[in-house]
Structures are given as C-alpha cells and as structure tokens.
Amino acid sequence: MSRLLKSIFELYISEYAKIMVVDLTSIFYTKSGLIFLICVLIASAVVFAHSYQNSQRVENPS
C-alpha cells in the first residue's frame, strides 16, 4: 500500500514540476519577464559575492 502511495506521490510531483516549468518559461517570454529574470540574476550574483567576501574575511582575519 505504501509503495502505491509513494509512486502516486512521485507521479504527482513530477507532473506538478512540469507544469511549474511551463508556467515559468511562459512568464520569461514577455519583456517584463526578461527584465525580472535579469534582476533576479543580478541580485543572486550580489548575494553570492557578498557571502564569498564574508567567507574570505573569516578565513583571513588580517
């Protein structure tokens, strides 16, 4: 019984993930979606650089 529930759950999750990917790609086909994507990429790069700089500071306190 649990194996059946597990397979149903995995199927549901995989189908839900496919729907979410299609929704995200349709958002990014618009001009505002591309602007949003660029802003997200810039923000993630800034956060990554900041955390990398902090980790370097912890390793080298000088």
Report yes or no: 15 and 6 within 8 Å, Cβ to Cβ: no
| pLDDT tens digits along 30-42 | 777 778 778 888 9
Q: Is the pTM of this model over 0.85?
A: no
pLDDT tops 60 at residue 27: yes
DSSP 30: S
- Tell me which residue range forms the domain holding 27: 2-59
* Residue in 10, 43, 48 with CA at minimum distance from that of residue 35: 43
Burial 32-54 (b: 16+ CB within 10 A, else e): eeeeeeeeeeeeeeeeeeeeeee
Structural domains counted in the chain: 1
